[in-house]
Amino acid sequence: MTRSCPVPAQILAIAWKEWRLLSRNLHGLATLFLMPAIFVLVMSFTLKNTLTAKVDLPLAGWVQEDSSPFATQWSRQWLARHPGPRFGTQAELQAALKARQVEAGIVVRSPLIDAATGQPDSRQLEMWLGQRVQPAAAARLRAQLSFSLLQARMKRAAAEAGPFSGVLLEGAAGGELLAADGGVAVRYLYEIESGRRMTAVQQSVPAWLVFGMFFVVIPIAGVLIQERKEGTLARLATLRVSPAAQLGGKLVAFIALNLVQLAFMLMVGCWLVPLLGGDALSLAIHPGWFLLIVLATSTAAVGLALLIASVSRTFEHAAALGGGLNVVLGAIAGVMVPRMLMPPGLQTVSAWSPMGWALDGMQAVFLGAPIAADVLPRAALLFAFALACLAGSAWMLRRPGNFT
């Protein structure tokens, strides 16, 4: 009769066995350690940039449409404290915002002085914001503008009151000096270009469209690994079906799947979100640029998924590697944390992420009036990335060991 080992020894032996198995699962270990480390870095720098006590004012361009002495003097004093480029027209400021030469803009409309009250009217000021201005920086710029105009009102009221200025200012309430208006108006570049109001769904849908399309790695991995186990790949090879043809068929099939997924997500944004009390997604977008960036994004996503599936031996490896890589790429690209909240260095890194290219192109379509320079470079990068992934997948499939 065989005598069993004590229970503590069995526990230690099984634990040692699990550690040995884990040491061979490099994909799982990379996901377990690398992905949380990257998230810690991204979120730490982002929160540091967001929660910092000192928020710098964004670089703001200036358009002065009122040439009165008061508006000229006030504009000169502002620019002396907060230097920024001057533009002759609103169109020039809009172009500078689109090209990201400035982060914000200030438009002084005419007349700045209200004829009824004789005081500066903050409703004649407009603050324009680009798509990547930090909310805290935008709020500080608006507060500084309001405070600067309040100071100008107090000085103007004191000058008009003469020797009675002290009594006037002492008895005046803040509301009387500020006037009953709505404050400095804020307009985003998207609103200026499209004529529609900026909403949360209009900003979030492009990001999650890109993120969802890249998760095609899960069904692709399942299909390719099942075909390898069942011998389908080997049989196709004996029938002289080239790896390029196999990959081409899968590329077409899963791009079609991405298009169905895209249509579903657009329906959610257009119908389900407003049904639950949110804002509806606007599809008043350029169809040609939209189809181009969707096709480029889907091709890149399927190409990356095929590469991951071709190098993975099991579905678990492919799911861990593909899912972890997509989450990391999404965090870096600005899907989970908007780029406007990232520090400049991290924004530069995100600009070199395939998801970042796709997100830039998708946001150009959904958040403004895109031009060729907004979409074509990103689409070209995505197609080049897809071609490199497909070449790697074809090379892997040509190796005899990948058929079984």
Q: In the predicted model, what is the mean pLDDT of residues 373-386?
A: 92
Quick one: pLDDT at residue 173? 46
DSSP-derived 3-state class of residue 129: strand
Which distant-in-sequence residues (6+ apart) come within 8 Å of 224 by Cβ? 233, 250, 306, 309, 310
Are the C-beta atoms of 129 and 188 separated by less than 8 Å? yes
At residue 365, what are phi and psi to the nearest 5 degrees? -80, -45
pLDDT of residue 384: 95
pLDDT at 292: 94
Kindly report the pTM of this predicted structure.
Answer: 0.71
Which residues of the chain form CATH 3.40.1710? 60-194
Rounded percentage of the chain residues whose pLDDT exceeds 90:
8
Average pLDDT over residues 112-130: 80
Question: What is the maximum alpha-carbon separation in the chain?
Answer: 113
How much of the chain exceeds pLDDT 70, in percent? 78
State the burial class of residue 300 (Cβ atoms within 10 Å of its Cβ: 0-12, 13-18, 19+): buried
Instruction: State pLDDT tens for residues 277-303.
Output: 878 888 888 889 999 999 999 999 999
Among 14-28, 130-144, 206-220, 375-389, where is mean pLDDT lowest? Answer: 14-28
The two three-digit tokens of residue 364, written as one number: 């150009």
Arithmetic mean of pLDDT over the chain: 78
What is the per-residue pLDDT across 204-215, written as a single tens digit (0 to 9) for each?
788 888 888 888
Q: Among 55-59, 109-113, 159-163, 345-349, name the one with the lowest average pLDDT.
A: 159-163
In the block, which residue shows the tokens 């002396």? 80
Residue 15 has pLDDT above 80, yes or no: no
pLDDT in tens, 128-171: 888 777 777 788 888 888 888 877 777 766 666 555 444 444 44
DSSP letters, 297-361, are HHHHHHHHHHHHHHH-SSHHHHHHHHHHHHHHHHHHHTSSS-GGGS-HHHHHHHTTSHHHHHHHH
What is the layout of strands, in order, in the sheet containing 60-64?
60-64, 104-108, 125-129, 185-188
For the 60-194 domain, the top CATH level (class) is: alpha beta
Query: Considering only 50-64, 100-114, 166-180, 331-345, which range has the smallest mean pLDDT?
Result: 166-180
Give phi and psi for 242, each to the nearest 5.
-70, 155
Indicate the angle between helix axes 354-366 and 200-214, nearest 10 degrees.
140
Which pLDDT belongs to residue 180?
43
Which structure tokens are listed for 370? 């895109």
